[in-house]
Amino acid sequence: MIPSDDRINYLDHAATTPVRPEVLEKMLPYFTEIFGNPSSLYALAGEARYGVDESREQVAAVLGARSSEIVFTGGGSESDNLAIKGLAALQAHAGGHIITTAIEHHAVIHPVEQLEKRGFTATYVGVDSTGRVDPEEFAAAVQPDTFLASVMLVNNEVGTIQDVAAISRLVRESAERSGTKVLIHSDAVQAAGKLSLNVDELGVDLMSLSGHKIYGPKGVGVLYVRRGVELEPLIAGGGQERQRRSGTENVALIVGMAEALTLSESERPASRDRFDRLATRLIAGVNERIPNASFNGNDNPDQSSGGRVPEVVNFSFPGVEGEPILLGLDFKGIAASSGSACSSASLEPSHVLLAMGVDPELAVGSVRISMGRDTIEEDVDDVVQALASVLEQLGTFPAAQV
Ligand SMILES: Cc1ncc(COP(=O)(O)O)c(C=O)c1O
């Protein structure tokens, strides 16, 4: 299906990104020459240990944290699970209350649901039609037995930004009033390289990151754990990562993750305007060519009042499911994704779009376009043109308008 005479117009960067050459170059020696076990005592191991230590400092610098607060994990899902289950396991009496939102990634929602089956309780705070949580409403959910509040910084399907700083401040105030202590976790997997990850400004105690969304390798992530916060490890063993994540360190992946994060952070300010322009062009193009398209998310790009990240743009198209649209785009050499998950014979509408109040029939016809470092104006024009022609072929779109 891949047109051989052309490059793929890859517009699924929220799903994953390629490892960038500088990152790969930095990782390679750790697979072959510097292969020692960082815990061993000889010089070869010392070099590997140095690679891990340096990476930890790099990550800490981006987060405004101490290097001892950085835990390397096997990815964003593991970081989310470690934060949630690791805290839950230490609750003195089984049970306790967790606050999260209805639009979290399943790497947060499913561990919380698992805990609910074991006697914990949870509140899933809803969102408005732009996908935004009201910080006051979130904080009002604090109960005397609440021990954890988990809210994502950027949503992976629609790109809406949550005001994590306001949420953590209000939750703390609310917790103080009810005489309890609530720790704040944020899944910032989709925010890295797009927003500041300063943990003090965000007011978070725990924060999850993933390597492969920022041009680093897959299978590596970070959990920031504020000093003094205790966690039961998910993986027990040799006691690596200060007893928080056992297993011989995957040095090459750790080095790659840290380098990718450092690069994405340094390029962040310069990329903002470029992505804003591309998103504006994309939204205007779709609205012009496909008048029955509906934009899902926050259409106010102003980040000072919440806003969205421009890299992720989501549309619904009436009368059609996401899957055939994606196949049509794929045939034209364009990779994008749909918010709906196809499980066996049934198409499940996205829980994020449903929580935003999108009609279930519209929610199954959603397409997410997520742009990256290589995306240029021509790619945006190409996907607008392709969407219009695929929808016309699918018969959901009057030919006269194309
Ligand atoms: C918001 C969010 N959290 C967590 C994850 C999971 O990260 P990983 O694929 O590294 O396990 C993803 C990946 O899709 C994500 O978008």
In CATH, what number is assigned to the domain containing residue 167? 3.40.640.10
Beta-bridged to residue 294, according to DSSP, are 316
What's the chain's Rg over C-alpha atoms? 22
Residue 2 covered by a domain: no
Task: Supply the residues annotated as catalytic.
Answer: 342
Is the CB of residue 76 below 6 angstroms from any atom belonging to ligand 1?
A: yes
189 in the same domain as 67: yes
391 in the same domain as 247: no
Residue 1 covered by a domain: no
329 in the same domain as 305: yes
Q: d(Cα 34, Cα 41) in Å, to the nearest integer? A: 14
The SS3 call for residue 42 is coil
Q: d(Cα 264, Cα 239) in Å, to the nearest integer? A: 31
Residue 3 covered by a domain: no
Inter-CA distances, 79 with 209, 219, 231, 245, 384, Å? 7, 11, 12, 10, 36
Residue 365 covered by a domain: yes
Residue 43 covered by a domain: yes
Pocket test for ligand 1, best of 17, 105, 108 (most atoms within 8 A of CB): 105
Domain with 386 in it:
9-18+268-401
Q: d(Cα 355, Cα 365) in Å, to the nearest integer? A: 16
List the pLDDT tens digit at each of the 402 positions of the chain: 445 556 899 999 999 999 999 999 999 999 999 999 999 999 889 999 999 999 999 999 999 999 999 999 999 999 999 999 999 999 977 789 999 999 999 999 999 999 999 999 999 999 999 999 999 999 999 999 999 999 999 999 999 999 999 999 999 999 999 889 999 999 999 999 999 999 999 999 999 999 999 999 999 999 999 999 999 999 999 999 999 999 999 999 999 999 999 999 999 999 999 999 999 999 999 999 999 999 999 987 777 667 999 999 999 999 999 999 999 999 999 999 987 665 545 578 999 999 999 999 999 999 999 999 999 999 999 999 999 999 999 987 654 444
282 in the same domain as 211: no
Is the CB of residue 156 below 6 angstroms from any atom belonging to ligand 1?
A: yes
Q: Which residues contact 293 (CB under 8 A, 6 or more apart)?
A: 286, 287, 315, 316, 317
Tell me which of 216, 235, 262 is where a domain ends. Answer: 262
254 in the same domain as 217: yes
Long-range contacts of the stretch 361-365 (C-beta < 8 A, 24+): 361/318, 361/319, 362/294, 362/316, 362/317, 362/318, 363/316, 363/339, 364/321, 364/322, 364/340, 365/316, 365/317, 365/318, 365/319, 365/320, 365/321, 365/322, 365/325
292 in the same domain as 212: no
354 in the same domain as 233: no
Residue 230 covered by a domain: yes
Is the CB of residue 105 below 6 angstroms from any atom belonging to ligand 1?
A: yes
211 in the same domain as 67: yes
Tell me which of 233, 262, 291 is where a domain ends. Answer: 262
Q: d(Cα 160, Cα 297) in Å, to the nearest integer? A: 6
Give distance in angstroms: CA of 46 to centre of ligand 1: 32
185 in the same domain as 214: yes
Q: d(Cα 124, Cα 243) in Å, to the nearest integer? A: 31
**What's the number of domains the chain is made of?**
2
Q: d(Cα 185, Cα 32) in Å, to the nearest integer? A: 36
Question: Whose CA is closest to atom 9 on ligand 1?
Answer: 76
Is the CB of residue 259 below 6 angstroms from any atom belonging to ligand 1?
A: no
Contact criterion met (CB below 8 Å) for 234 and 221 = no
